[in-house]
A = this chain, B = another copy of it.
Amino acid sequence: MTARRRAKAPSQADVARLAGVSQSAVSRVISGNAATARIPEETRQRVFEAVRELGYVANPAARAMRNQRNDLLGVHTFERVFPRASEDFYFEFLLGIEERAEETGFDLVLFTSTGSGGGGERKIYRNGTNRLNLADGSILLGVSTDRGELARLWYEGYPFVHIGRREVPGAEIPQIVPDYRSASEQIVQRLAEHGHRRLGYVREWMEMEPYADRRVGYAETVVRLGLTDTSPGVLGRVGIEEPWLDEVARGAVTAIVVESVRLAESLREQLAARGRKIPDDVSVAVLEAAPADLSGQWDSLVIPRVEIGRMAVDRLQDMLADPEQRTGSLLVPCPLVLGTTVATVSE
């Protein structure tokens, strides 16, 4: 047995010739609903026999061209999907996307070619052509700095969903968005319930929407509950400042809300250097998903990534089924994680 030299894949025409029927008959037997034009059993058999003999398989490109669809869902990440760093941001989204794609009978295209080559940011449009077009619709995820691309994509009417919030002026991009704002509200509320009235806020350097949401949720709730916050972070200053830390050590605030685990860890260290402990002296809550580690579990929140991936697939398929559904986003609740870093205020 030797492999056939991939000469020319047999076409329906070949099958038709062998079976002694017309090409359209072959098409109808193979993919057409045999119901529409009932083919006599005997003809069907002849066709199937020829198919088997020739090893015919449909040419997907031709099908796609004719049908104007693919059953292909695109996944575009603005950074590499599988980063080498173990801190694997996309993985869980992909988990959900794959699960749901499998369940609904779609294949997935990972747009990797669009890379600029050097591992930098990936672009959707490259020399005028848009690879995403290959798929019926796409799920976009990651940090896109170039909003113009998103706007253009949306304007052109290409069906896509964005995972994570991204505002683009003039375009109502359908998004699946973790509800950081409400999660932040709940966290502040919980701190208040534990008797905390003087809070602090530590922000990351990023200015992306997900952070904006957290900040709005925090700030609003502080005001609504009549709490106070005079920390540098709430004014827009990034990171942890020394003079403020000294004030914290002196008891200026009883609870701190931090945007990331990274900053929270750093905060813990610097407080320790001043002889202050979490949560005995200061309570701390983190506004992102935080794994439990050696020193306990941060009070934090859950980002239901798998579920978000699944929702994105469903949302996209709704769009494909009904082009009217071109806009409309989904807000996904982020449950709180009760950890060991928030205590009732002692005073």
Question: Which residues of A pack against B, CB within 8 Å?
Answer: 1, 3-7, 9, 30, 51, 55-62, 64-65, 70-72, 80-82, 84, 91, 94-95, 98-99, 101-103, 105-115, 117, 119, 128-131, 133-134, 151-152, 154-159, 170-172, 323, 326-327
Query: Which of these, B99, B115, B323, contacts A5 with CB under 8 Å?
Result: B323
- Are A108 and B112 neighbours in the complex by a CB distance under 8 Å? yes
* A6 x B134 contact (CB < 8 A): no
Residues of chain B within 8 A of A113, CB atoms compared = 71, 101-102, 105-107
Q: How many copies does the complex hold?
A: 2
- List 15 additional contacts besides A101-B112, A107-B111; criterion CB under 8 Å: A1-B171, A3-B171, A3-B172, A51-B128, A56-B128, A57-B129, A59-B133, A60-B131, A60-B134, A102-B113, A102-B115, A102-B119, A107-B109, A108-B112, A110-B110
**CA of A331 to CA of B119 in the docked complex: distance in angstroms?**
29
Residues of B within 8 A of A156 (CB): 3-4, 55, 57
Q: Are B99 and A80 within 8 A (Cβ)?
A: yes
Query: With the chains together, A95 CA to B83 CA distance in Å?
Result: 7
A107 adjacent to B107 (CB under 8 Å): no
Contacts of A154 in B (CB 8 A): 3
Residues in B with CB closer than 8 Å to A114 are: 107
Q: Do A84 and B95 contact each other (CB < 8 Å), given the known contacts A3-B157, A61-B65?
A: yes
A70 touches B61 (CB 8 A): yes
Given known A-B contacts A57-B129, A106-B113, A6 and B171 have beta carbons under 8 A apart: no
Task: Quote the shortest CB–CB distance from A155 to chain B (angstroms).
Answer: 6
| Residue from B129, B170, B323 in contact with A58 in the complex, judged by beta carbons closer than 8 Å | B129
Instruction: Tell me, in angstroms, the Cα distance from A293 to B61 when the chains sit together.
Output: 50
